[in-house]
Amino acid sequence: MVIPALDPELVKVHSCLVTNRVHRQIVAGKLAYLSKLFYPIAGTFTRLSILFFYYRLIQDATWTRTFRWVLHATVASVLVLGTVIVFLAAFQCTYVCHRSKIGVLLTSSLGPLKRTGFSHP
């Protein structure tokens, strides 16, 4: 099998495109990871703000002793569950496939080189 000479400019452009794609995928992965962390944090703070609003509503009422204890217990449970969910999201295990995403990206992005007669092993 004869491999024709590759155009150096085509190889340079192709490697630059692959590098940019890989870089964009890495940045997208980091942003997805951060969004997985900030979503439960935002939900926890929303719940806490509603509970603190209830504290202000019952501030001057005479029957507040029982309801205040219920609010204390609810705030504690929201804080504990919010912290647990954030830690579960932060240290979540993901299984790695036998083909990495970068390997799939590199093998699927060889279109310009395949047209020149270069075949990827």
Q: Please, what is the Cα angle at 114 between 108 and 118, to 5 degrees?
A: 120
Q: Which residue has the tokens 């603190």?
A: 52
pTM above 0.85, yes or no: no
Task: Please report, rounded to a whole number, the percentage of residues in the chain having pLDDT higher than 90.
Answer: 28
- The residue with greater pLDDT, 39 or 64, is 39
Nearest Cα residue to 11 out of 81, 82, 85, 114: 114
64 class by beta-carbon count within 10 Å (0-12 exposed, 13-18 middle, 19+ buried): middle
Q: Label residue 121 by pLDDT band (50, 70, 90).
A: very low
Query: What is the residue-averaged pLDDT of the chain?
Result: 75
Contact 78, 47 (CB under 8 A): yes
Q: pLDDT value at position 17?
A: 62
Q: What is the DSSP letter of 99?
A: S
Q: How many C-beta atoms surround the C-beta of residue 113 within 10 A?
A: 17
